[in-house]
Amino acid sequence: MPEPVRIQYVHTDYSHFGPHAGTRRIIDYVDKEAFRVREYAVKKEKHQLNLPFLIARRLTRPWLIRKGMKLYFLEDYVAETRIANHAARDPVDIVHFVDGDHSYQHLRRMLDQRGQTHTRIITTHHQPPEFLERIIRKDTMTLVDHVFLVSPEQKDFFSQFLPDEKISVIELGVSADFYVPAETPPSREVFRTITVGSHLRDFDTLKEVAKSMQDEAIEFHVVSHSLQPDPAYPNVIVHQGVSDEALLQLYQQSHLLLLTLSEATANSALLEGLACRLPIATNDLRGTRHYLPADERFFLPSKNPDDIVAHLRDLIAQPVLCEELADLAYARGQELAWSNVVKRAEAIYRQVIDKAVSRSS
């Protein structure tokens, strides 16, 4: 039996992600017999850091972003340094930056300086191309051995720096063993939509839709730290600081996942809704098209609030249609379970290692 591939994961420790959510979930599903896994969690939120570190963070900021990587902070540099030092003592085959948009900048140079030229670097990127243009340090991308993209729309950006064989779309997965359908459907006396998340959400449009439907039997439940309860929108119920278990219950008590988005590549809420067998109504974007089943009925007709209101009324009036969409959603959610997605990642890991071995022999 071959020796396990030694892989070091680096990810951001986001406090708003529970144990069943977030990009780091790939680590939990990797075959631990085929891969010897190390994990480094980078704490980036101010409440996670002590005062001396926050002062040093501010003082070093101009130097750390001088090459244009705007979201790279002292904690990222410390992580890269520690990983390089550890690799010099206990070598690894691959370092995978799960949040590559802001966490990888100096590691290739650091590893080479410590004699670890054989270590391969993989980065995963989550942001849309227009964001990547502003936050990626482009000269470091040519030194990466492979990039994982979460949506095909990102490929043109990375093709500027890497050949196609070093670029793969590895979808964001979902914890389909945790996010599961309700055992019994909720009552339809009041139609409940659920909106989850903050990044790239169009809450202004959502509120306009809710305002237009105030006198109807519909509630708009929103799980987000970016929206506050507002008495002007009594049918918008805001939930904050909920656990994964509470979020699952909210999904299971809802009739529809409603995501009004300004942009999207991969979207955890959309995946969780699929796994929970929810019909979905969202904007027609390249990212949402990649993750949703190939059925036009999942997409909102436009960003116009009046059009969205009409679409919601159609769904409320057609429970059979909602059931059809729910079945399609659930099937797609099972395809995107982490247990399936991780197999494609593992194949790339082996491919990267095989190429490194063939070059050195």
- Return the bridge partners of 261, or none: 201
Query: Can you spell out the DSSP letters for 87-139?
Result: HHHS--SEEEETTHHHH-SSHHHHHHHTT-TT-EEEEEE-S-HHHHHHH--HH
Tokens 């191309």 belong to 129
Using DSSP's 3-state secondary structure scheme, residue 21 falls into coil
Sign, CA dihedral 125-251-26-343, equals negative
Sign, CA dihedral 311-313-319-320, equals negative
Alpha helices, DSSP H only, in the chain? Answer: 25-29, 51-64, 74-89, 100-103, 107-113, 129-135, 138-141, 155-158, 203-212, 244-252, 268-275, 286-291, 305-317, 319-335, 338-360
- Match domain 191-335 to its CATH number in 3.40.50.2000, 1.10.760.10, 3.30.420.40, 3.40.50.300: 3.40.50.2000
**Domain residue spans in the chain?**
5-173+338-360, 191-335
**For 5-173+338-360, CATH number?**
3.40.50.2000
pLDDT of residue 356: 66
pLDDT of residue 10: 97
| Position 355 confidence tier, pLDDT thresholds 50, 70, 90 | confident
Q: What is the rounded average pLDDT of the residues 182-203?
A: 94
Of residues 44 and 299, the one with the higher pLDDT is 299
Going by their DSSP bridges, the two strands 191-196 and 146-149 should be labelled as: unpaired
In this model, does residue 301 exceed pLDDT 90? yes
- 5-173+338-360 and 191-335 have identical folds: yes
- Return the bridge partners of 341, or none: none
Sign, CA dihedral 222-45-74-173, equals negative
pLDDT of residue 360: 55
pLDDT of residue 188: 87
Q: What is the rounded average pLDDT of the residues 343-358?
A: 87
Q: What is the pTM of this model?
A: 0.92
pLDDT above 70 covers a percentage of the chain that reads 98
Distance CA 233, CA 360 (A): 64
In this model, does residue 43 exceed pLDDT 60? yes
Using DSSP's 3-state secondary structure scheme, residue 197 falls into coil
* Cβ atoms 125, 100 nearer than 8 A: yes
